[in-house]
């Protein structure tokens, strides 16, 4: 399913930027829920936002939708701050747990959506989602099941005809059928309207075939960002017989993200430095789920930010005082003529477009 | 498809739909918000408006009954112990009047005094706190409306309902008061209950309670906690302003030379009294006790008469408007703070 989705979006996935965050941070009381978050999301993608609980996924989505204001750094949607009237109308955000007014009926909730989104409301779309999900129109929202609530929330979000759709755990609480329908809906919506979608989910297996972009958070920071295909291609899954405690040196020469052993066999996910040498082991491309699991298991693995997920450098020269997100990383595209000599767009160590390992700066002693 | 804005033809998107909902009103951004706020709080609004309407009707009925009683017994302007010769022999009728109508009048008074606190408790405090507690504010703020617009609708419509209900009730009660208040009933305009239930004062306090509730809910994010804080704050403001009330306007001083009965009219609010000396100095604490040689003692201190600082009945409405103005200014300040908090939090 993924190639089809990819084909559909590559036409749209021009150089336009849907979301751009630079040094974004937000503190909840004393703890940083999100810190030093720098990434770029090209327009027209379906991006999976993955991370363990408490890694700042919901915080990031709230910052992008303008629901909360950043404690530090900036986030821009379509080049403007999220909390402008134009962006409010363009962004739909289904927040975690799908808050609904419990005493309003389903029909009244849809009326709320129409009343609060004048000129954008697609009533047919909303009613189709509600009808197909068998959500009774005259039931109060407080009496709906978890899945029905989510569907009603999705109906509100889709019917707003958004350009950027942020979905916080939309698949949680849905039965497999509804989940399938929801992902199909998502793909259709993205294909039809060119909607950029950011989807946070813990259901790793469901993301495969839906998402073509990936953003992995851990400890409040970005750990993995880029095209799904590129990120998978940069890694290898190596399986073989376990000889002694350590991995074979030919494999350990690559950046080992995670190793699992069962009985006398090991399975390792490595970030390739060139091709993995042949040996008494099998090498394969990891699935999205395997890749994500490896990164979730290894919170100290070095971060990997693809060039397409790097903010355009010219923009953060215009904003002095912001901390650069990932120091020492190559920037996407050639340095512009306006860039200052010795500026940050010519970092040491590497030409643009190459992959770089680097430490997230948080005690990663790999 | 229907993503383009068509301000004049908003119904377009729904016209082709089979079945489903199709209410055609509430399209404008503010219209949708006002519908939502009305839908959310219609129970409280209904109870408030119904209670005010019921109270107003009862006041009108009471006015008719009290006016008939006063006319029948010719006791207009007579208190139980009156110096007015016109009121000679009316004591029994006045007592009967007070026994008949006193409890009813007191009930309306108490209702009007408690109304602001009740509005703050059950309308103002939950208004925002419940949304923040349940997270439903996210549902609204992720639609196309901005946070300030939402807060404006969320406070504006309740304020309108509160003003309507309280003004209606307060006006009819003041109308009843013209007949049954002051001397005859013994419930004077300057009593705490009376002052709080007449004219603009209850309306202003109701709006203040609403504003306190909204701000408390916005800052505390907990419904029950906000209700407690709102109740405390409303009562505190009422107590503090009740202490300040005599000083909002300069009092009128009447001097009574010795050997003349010292009494201001019944409907005057006596704020301070004492003796004054030949030189004009005031002795607020009487230097003499009421024992033998009282007159000698007074003479010794050079007392030539008594003074009384009081607010005559003509000061009632100026005092009421000044206090209402202070309360409304406080309300406006709290509302501005609430909007600033909202803007800082949600942009």
The alpha carbon of residue B164 is apart from the nearest alpha carbon of chain A, in Å, by 26
* Residue A124 neighbours by CB under 8 Å, 6+ apart: B2, B13, B14, B16, B17
Q: What span, in angstroms and rounded, lies between the C-alpha atoms of A86 and A75? A: 15
Q: Closest by alpha carbon to A159, among B10, B11, B12, B13?
A: B13
The alpha carbon of residue A264 is apart from the nearest alpha carbon of chain B, in Å, by 51
Q: What span, in angstroms and rounded, lies between the C-alpha atoms of A250 and A111? A: 62
**Contact list, B24 vs chain A (CB under 8 Å):** none
- Could A137 and B26 be called an inter-chain contact, meaning their C-beta atoms sit closer than 8 Å? no
Interface test with B, best of A108, A119, A126 (most B CBs within 10 A): A119
SS3 assignment, position B219? helix
Expressed in angstroms, the distance from the first to the final Cα of chain B is 30
Residue B196 pLDDT grade (very low, low, confident, very high; cuts 50, 70, 90):
very high
Q: What angle do CA B238, B241, B243 make, to 5 degrees?
A: 110
pLDDT of residue B244: 94
Expressed in angstroms, the distance from the first to the final Cα of chain A is 35
- Could A117 and B143 be called an inter-chain contact, meaning their C-beta atoms sit closer than 8 Å? yes
Q: A73 with A322: CB under 8 angstroms?
A: yes
Kindly list the distances between the CA atom of residue A191 and the CA atoms of A151, A204, A309, B312, in Å, as whole numbers in the listed order: 20, 22, 21, 79
What b-and-e string marks burial along B131-140, b requiring 16 or more CB atoms within 10 Å of the CB? bbbbebbbbb
* Residue A165 neighbours by CB under 8 Å, 6+ apart: A91, A92, A157, A158, A189, A195, A196, A197, A198
The alpha carbon of residue A11 is apart from the nearest alpha carbon of chain B, in Å, by 20
Task: Identify which of A111, A112, A122 has the shortest CB distance to residue B13.
Answer: A122
Q: Least CA distance to A167: which residue of chain B?
A: B142
pLDDT at residue B167 tops 50: yes
SS3 assignment, position A259? strand
**Which region among A14-23, A157-166, B126-135 has the lowest average model confidence (pLDDT)?**
A14-23
**Contact list, A115 vs chain B (CB under 8 Å):** 26-27, 29, 31-33, 35-36
**Which region among A228-242, A290-304, A325-339, B189-203 has the lowest average model confidence (pLDDT)?**
A325-339
* Residue A212 neighbours by CB under 8 Å, 6+ apart: A2, A5, A6, A9, A45, A46, A47, A227, A228, A229
B238: left (phi over 0), alpha (psi -120 to 50) or beta: alpha
Q: Using one digit for the tens of pLDDT, what is the confidence trace for A28-47? A: 888 888 888 899 999 989 99
Return mean pLDDT, chain A: 79
Q: Least CA distance to A166: which residue of chain B?
A: B142
Q: B300 with B306: CB under 8 angstroms?
A: no
Q: What span, in angstroms and rounded, lies between the C-alpha atoms of A90 and A157? A: 11
Q: What span, in angstroms and rounded, lies between the C-alpha atoms of A37 and A216? A: 11
Q: What span, in angstroms and rounded, lies between the C-alpha atoms of A176 and A182? A: 10
B247: left (phi over 0), alpha (psi -120 to 50) or beta: alpha
For the segment A185-198, the average pLDDT, to the nearest whole number, is 87
pLDDT of residue B26: 36
- Between residues B229 and B92, the one the model is more confident about: B229
Q: What span, in angstroms and rounded, lies between the C-alpha atoms of A268 and B26? A: 59
pLDDT at residue A9 tops 70: no
pLDDT at residue A364 tops 60: no
pLDDT of residue A4: 40
pLDDT of residue B337: 97
Helix H segments across B82-185? 91-119, 125-134, 136-141, 147-180
Q: Using one digit for the tens of pLDDT, what is the confidence trace for A97-112? A: 899 999 999 999 999 9
Q: How many CB pairs under 8 A join A and B?
A: 135
pLDDT of residue B113: 92
For the segment A160-183, the average pLDDT, to the nearest whole number, is 87
pLDDT at residue B313 tops 80: yes
pLDDT at residue A344 tops 50: no
SS3 assignment, position B290? coil
pLDDT of residue B63: 93
pLDDT of residue B336: 97
* Residue B273 neighbours by CB under 8 Å, 6+ apart: B262, B306, B307, B308, B309
* Residue B209 neighbours by CB under 8 Å, 6+ apart: B116, B117, B119, B120, B121, B124, B230, B234
Extended beta strands in A160-316, E state: 164-168, 196-200, 213-218, 221-227, 235-241, 255-262, 265-271, 281-284, 304-305
Q: Using one digit for the tens of pLDDT, what is the confidence trace for B223-271? A: 999 999 999 999 999 999 999 999 999 999 888 887 777 788 888 899 8
> What percent of chain A has pLDDT above 90?
33
Q: How many helices (H) and strands (E) does chain B have?
A: 11, 4
Q: Least CA distance to A154: which residue of chain B?
A: B139
- Could A101 and B40 be called an inter-chain contact, meaning their C-beta atoms sit closer than 8 Å? yes
Q: Least CA distance to B20: which residue of chain A?
A: A127
pLDDT of residue B88: 79
The alpha carbon of residue A12 is apart from the nearest alpha carbon of chain B, in Å, by 18
What is chain A's length?
Answer: 366
SS3 assignment, position A92? strand
Q: Least CA distance to B32: which residue of chain A?
A: A115
pLDDT at residue B16 tops 70: no
pLDDT of residue A119: 86
Q: Bridge partners of A140?
A: A105
- Could A137 and B36 be called an inter-chain contact, meaning their C-beta atoms sit closer than 8 Å? no
pLDDT of residue B13: 37
pTM for the full predicted model: 0.82
Mean pLDDT is highest, among B78-87, B93-102, B178-187, for B93-102
Q: Using one digit for the tens of pLDDT, what is the confidence trace for A197-244? A: 999 988 888 888 889 999 999 877 889 999 999 999 899 999 888 777
Q: Closest by alpha carbon to A87, among A35, A194, A160?
A: A160
Q: A325 with A22: CB under 8 angstroms?
A: yes
**Contact list, A122 vs chain B (CB under 8 Å):** 1-3, 13
**Contact list, B135 vs chain A (CB under 8 Å):** 95, 97, 99
Q: What span, in angstroms and rounded, lies between the C-alpha atoms of A355 and A358? A: 10
Q: What span, in angstroms and rounded, lies between the C-alpha atoms of B7 and B26? A: 13
What is chain B's length?
Answer: 347
Interface test with A, best of B13, B28, B38 (most A CBs within 10 A): B13
pLDDT of residue A251: 83
- Between residues A177 and A326, the one the model is more confident about: A177
**Contact list, B142 vs chain A (CB under 8 Å):** 65, 67, 91-95
Residue B292 pLDDT grade (very low, low, confident, very high; cuts 50, 70, 90):
low
- Could B136 and A69 be called an inter-chain contact, meaning their C-beta atoms sit closer than 8 Å? no
CB atoms within 10 A of CB A156: 27
Interface test with B, best of A99, A118, A159 (most B CBs within 10 A): A118
pLDDT at residue A318 tops 80: no
Residue B284 pLDDT grade (very low, low, confident, very high; cuts 50, 70, 90):
low
pLDDT of residue A281: 86
Q: Using one digit for the tens of pLDDT, what is the confidence trace for A58-96? A: 999 999 999 999 999 999 998 899 988 889 999 999 998
The alpha carbon of residue A277 is apart from the nearest alpha carbon of chain B, in Å, by 51
pLDDT of residue A109: 95
The alpha carbon of residue B153 is apart from the nearest alpha carbon of chain A, in Å, by 12
Q: Least CA distance to B150: which residue of chain A?
A: A116
CB atoms within 10 A of CB A355: 18
Q: Closest by alpha carbon to A114, among B342, B12, B132, B151?
A: B12
Torsions phi, psi of A153, nearest 5?
A: -65, -40
For the segment B2-11, the average pLDDT, to the nearest whole number, is 38
**Which region among A248-252, B103-107, B218-222, B247-251 has the lowest average model confidence (pLDDT)?**
A248-252
pLDDT of residue B249: 92
SS (H, E, C) B62-84: HHHHHHHHHHHHCCCCCCCCCCC
Task: Identify which of B1, B17, B32 has the shortest CB distance to residue A115.
Answer: B32
* Residue B216 neighbours by CB under 8 Å, 6+ apart: B124, B125, B129, B225, B226, B229, B230, B233
Task: Identify which of B7, B20, B136 has the shortest CB distance to residue A99.
Answer: B136
Percent of residues in chain B assigned helix, strand, coil, to nearest 5: 65, 10, 25
pLDDT of residue B286: 67
**Contact list, A158 vs chain B (CB under 8 Å):** none
For the segment B287-294, the average pLDDT, to the nearest whole number, is 70
- Could A124 and B17 be called an inter-chain contact, meaning their C-beta atoms sit closer than 8 Å? yes
**Contact list, B17 vs chain A (CB under 8 Å):** 123-124, 127
pLDDT of residue A138: 93
Q: What span, in angstroms and rounded, lies between the C-alpha atoms of A365 and B1? A: 53
pLDDT of residue B92: 85
pLDDT of residue B176: 92
Q: Using one digit for the tens of pLDDT, what is the confidence trace for A149-162? A: 988 999 999 999 89
Q: What span, in angstroms and rounded, lies between the C-alpha atoms of B328 and B323? A: 9
């Amino acid at each position: 399913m993924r190639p089809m989705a990819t084909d559909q979006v590559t036409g749209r996935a021009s150089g336009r930027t849907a979301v751009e965050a630079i040094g974004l941070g937000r503190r909840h009381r004393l703890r940083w829920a999100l810190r030093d978050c720098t990434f770029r999301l090209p327009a027209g993608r379906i991006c999976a936002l993955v991370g363990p609980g408490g890694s700042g996924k919901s915080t990031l989505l709230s910052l992008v939708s303008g629901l909360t204001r950043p404690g530090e750094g900036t986030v821009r949607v379509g080049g403007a701050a999220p909390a402008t009237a134009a962006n409010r109308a363009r962004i739909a955000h289904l927040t975690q747990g799908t808050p609904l007014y419990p005493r309003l009926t389903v029909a009244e909730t849809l009326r709320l959506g129409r009343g609060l989104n004048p000129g954008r409301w697609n009533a047919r779309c909303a009613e189709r989602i509600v009808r197909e999900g068998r959500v009774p129109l005259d039931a109060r929202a407080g009496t709906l099941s978890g899945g029905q609530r989510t569907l009603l929330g999705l109906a509100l979000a889709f019917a707003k005809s958004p350009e950027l759709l942020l979905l916080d755990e939309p698949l949680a609480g849905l039965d497999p059928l509804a989940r399938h329908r929801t992902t199909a809906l998502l793909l259709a919506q993205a294909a039809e309207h060119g909607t950029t979608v950011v989807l946070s989910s813990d259901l790793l297996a469901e993301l495969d075939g839906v998402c073509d972009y990936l953003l992995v958070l851990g400890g409040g920071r970005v750990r993995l960002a880029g095209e799904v295909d590129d990120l998978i291609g940069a890694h290898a899954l190596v399986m073989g017989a376990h000889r002694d405690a350590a991995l074979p040196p030919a494999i350990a020469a690559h950046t080992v993200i995670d190793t699992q052993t069962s009985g006398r066999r090991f399975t390792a996910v490595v970030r390739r430095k060139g091709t993995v040498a042949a040996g008494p082991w099998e090498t394969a491309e990891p699935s999205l789920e395997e890749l994500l699991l490896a990164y979730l298991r290894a919170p100290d693995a070095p971060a990997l930010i693809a060039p397409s997920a790097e903010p355009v450098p010219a923009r953060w020269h215009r904003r002095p005082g912001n901390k650069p997100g990932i120091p020492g990383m190559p920037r996407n595209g050639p340095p512009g003529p306006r860039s200052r000599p010795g500026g940050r767009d010519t970092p040491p160590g590497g030409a643009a477009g190459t992959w770089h390992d680097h430490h997230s700066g948080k005690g990663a002693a790999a | 498809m229907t993503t383009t804005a068509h301000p004049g033809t908003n119904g377009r998107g729904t016209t082709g739909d089979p079945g489903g909902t199709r209410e055609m009103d509430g399209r404008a951004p503010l219209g949708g918000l006002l519908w939502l706020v009305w839908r959310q709080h219609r129970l409280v609004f209904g109870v408030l408006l119904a209670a005010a309407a019921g109270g107003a009707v009862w006041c009108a009925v009471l006015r008719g009954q009290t006016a008939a009683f006063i006319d029948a017994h010719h006791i207009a302007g007579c208190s139980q112990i009156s110096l007015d010769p016109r009121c000679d022999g009316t004591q029994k009728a006045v007592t009967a009047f007070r026994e008949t109508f006193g409890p009813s009048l007191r009930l309306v008074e108490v209702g009007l005094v408690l109304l602001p606190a009740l509005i703050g408790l059950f309308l103002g405090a939950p208004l925002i706190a419940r949304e923040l507690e349940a997270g439903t504010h996210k549902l609204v703020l992720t639609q196309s409306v901005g946070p300030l617009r939402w807060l404006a609708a969320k406070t504006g419509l309740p304020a309108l309902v509160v003003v309507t209900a309280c003004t209606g009730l307060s006006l009819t009660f003041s109308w009843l008061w013209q007949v049954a208040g002051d001397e005859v009933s013994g419930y004077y305009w300057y009593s705490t209950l009376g002052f709080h239930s007449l004219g603009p004062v209850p309306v202003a306090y109701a709006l203040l309670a609403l504003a306190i509730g909204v701000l408390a809910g916005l800052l505390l994010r907990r419904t029950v906690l906000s209700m407690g804080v709102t109740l405390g704050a409303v009562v505190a403001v009422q107590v503090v302003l009740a202490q300040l009330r005599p000083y909002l306007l300069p009092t009128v001083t009447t001097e009574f030379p010795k050997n003349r009965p010292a009494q201001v009219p019944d409907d005057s609010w006596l704020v301070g009294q004492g003796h004054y000396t030949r030189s004009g100095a005031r002795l607020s604490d009487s230097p003499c006790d009421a024992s033998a040689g009282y007159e000698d003692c007074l003479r010794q201190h050079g007392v030539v008469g008594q003074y009384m600082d009081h607010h005559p009945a003509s000061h009632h409405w100026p005092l009421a408007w000044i206090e209402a103005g202070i309360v409304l200014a406080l309300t406006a300040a709290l509302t501005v703070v609430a909007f600033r908090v909202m803007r800082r939090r949600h942009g």
